Amino acid sequence: MKYSQRSYLRFKHLLGSLLLSSTLLAAQPLVLVSSEGPPHTINNDTHSGIDLDVTKAVLKRMGYEVKLLFVPLGRAQMMVKTADADLMAPIFQTKDSENFYISDTIVTYKPMVFSLKSAHLSPTSITDLRDYAVITFQGAPGYFGEEFKAMSKQADYVESAQMAVIPNLLSKGRFDFAVLDKYIFYYFYRLNNKERSVEGFKEHSLIPPVNASVAFKSATLRDAFNHELIRFKEEKHYQSIVKHYLGYIPF
């Protein structure tokens, strides 16, 4: 009887320890790794950019807290694959691999050709830009394919290391066309005034959009995230996040 009572007390202590450990484990935030690139990803715990705010909001609805860590994107991928992080965003691949499970689309990047409405320009292909002055971000030909590379060698073509200056240079008529992600363009143009008019710009959709997702180390968590993401989008929360960074723009 004495032995049974001692065993019971040991079991009770062990069970309490296990419950405490599981509670502490559940309370630990998920580690989300990313690389800074406003307005999609911003190194700020509260307003972390469109991609990260969407990811955090969906996870919060699922009961998870998130700890952000900013590293180069290549390192971010490796941290998830080696279980040093729970998830990363954004990721632009669509196929799962070992310890690297891709979610449904969280944000669609929209590479866009912009001109001034007053210039009355109507290109129907990237090749049509070759006779004009074009400004874009550094390294753009590596993202946009062979037609863009060919155009960049023929046009009055400039790559800027500072994406923030591109919208204003176009607005002042220094260039005929600017090529930039739609959200990045409007973010920097409206950086200090979310009500600043964008009516003077014309958008030319000549480059295919690119879907951004989240990569998880756990397929189970990825599946649960996808389920909650559907509801999140249906309730129009995505639009309110975009509006926070860009003001109102047509989607």
Q: Where are the domains of the chain?
A: 2-108+211-246, 111-204
Provide the token pair at 168. 């204003």
Q: Residue 29 has what DSSP assignment?
A: P
Query: What pLDDT is recorded for position 243?
Result: 95
Residue 75 pLDDT exceeds 60: yes
What is the average pLDDT across 55-81?
A: 96
Residue 72 pLDDT exceeds 70: yes
Q: Kindly report the backbone phi and psi dihedral angles of residue 32, in degrees, each rounded to the nearest multiple of 5, phi listed first.
A: -110, 120
Pairing relationship of beta strands 111-116 and 201-204 according to DSSP bridges:
antiparallel
Look up the pTM and report it: 0.87
Provide the token pair at 108. 């669609």
Report the distance separating Cα 193 and Cα 191, nearest Å: 6
Residue 24 pLDDT exceeds 70: no
Report the distance separating Cα 116 and Cα 199, nearest Å: 9
> In CATH, which superfamily holds the domain spanning 2-108+211-246?
Periplasmic binding protein-like II (3.40.190.10)
CATH number corresponding to 111-204 = 3.40.190.10
Report the distance separating Cα 85 and Cα 91, nearest Å: 14
Report the distance separating Cα 183 and Cα 162, nearest Å: 15
